Amino acid sequence: MSLDTLPVYRGLRVPRVARWSAEHDITPAVYLRNSRLAYADPVLTRACTHQGALWRAWTIAPGKGEPRFSHLHPARQRRMMTRRICQVCGLSTVEEAATEGGHLFLTGAGEETGFRGPIEEGERTLHPPVHLACGWESVRHCRHLLDGYEAARVARPVPWGLYGILHAWSGGAVVPVDARAQIGHGDPRLALLLAGQAVTELNDVRPIDLRAEAARAGLAGAEAGR
Ligand SMILES: [Zn+2]
């Protein structure tokens, strides 16, 4: 991986998965076609259909404008989850996972998130994996991780399903009924989900001390004792 190639904004390297202000939500109105959500434009519907669901439509312009650190770009998040790509540097985590006994996943664990660790077996996440070096940089600079975090090596991350706005047929129209729905793969309700993110289930989880791993790798250096 190369952290030096990441876009820099006000001295901070911007994670690849983050959204930029020049990237816009261009999701049009949805309709029901053949019992599935669809856009009026069949070409856009085809382009936005992935993993059994219709996805929100966003323009793609990484590096343009200002970064939205706390927001994930749907298309990049989906690609990173599916291919086990580091959400910070945009490169595969497969090789590191093979040598270190699992992909590294981080979860914010402060008052803001309300999460208290450790990361548990079978837990589901919307955050793609990271490399050790990328994760170590994130916990020292990323606002939602500065408040506290949990880290785990995950030997078997499995695509679980999709997160988005669940719709239903009501009164002659298709209407949103749950803005924060998580629907598993194989569930017929995926046809009525306007998807925004992919959900991964974490299996064979081993919680780790990230600071100790970083120190062993020579990343933490003099900071290890802080
Ligand atoms: Zn990385």
Q: 38 alpha carbon to ligand 1 midpoint, in Å?
A: 35
pLDDT at position 226 is 43
Indicate the burial class of 183 (C-beta count within 10 angstroms; 0-12, 13-18, 19 or more).
buried
Residue-wise pLDDT tens digits, 40-94: 999 999 999 999 999 999 999 999 999 998 899 999 999 999 999 999 999 999 9
Span of 13-17, 122-126, 222-226 with lowest mean pLDDT: 222-226
CA atoms within 13 A on the CB side of 202: 24
Q: 88 alpha carbon to ligand 1 midpoint, in Å?
A: 5
pLDDT at position 3 is 52
Q: 58 alpha carbon to ligand 1 midpoint, in Å?
A: 24
Q: 159 alpha carbon to ligand 1 midpoint, in Å?
A: 20
Q: 123 alpha carbon to ligand 1 midpoint, in Å?
A: 22
Domain boundary assignment for the chain = 17-219
Q: 151 alpha carbon to ligand 1 midpoint, in Å?
A: 15
- Cα angle 153, 159, 164 (rounded to 5 degrees) comes to 115
CA dist 221 and 226 (Å) reads 10
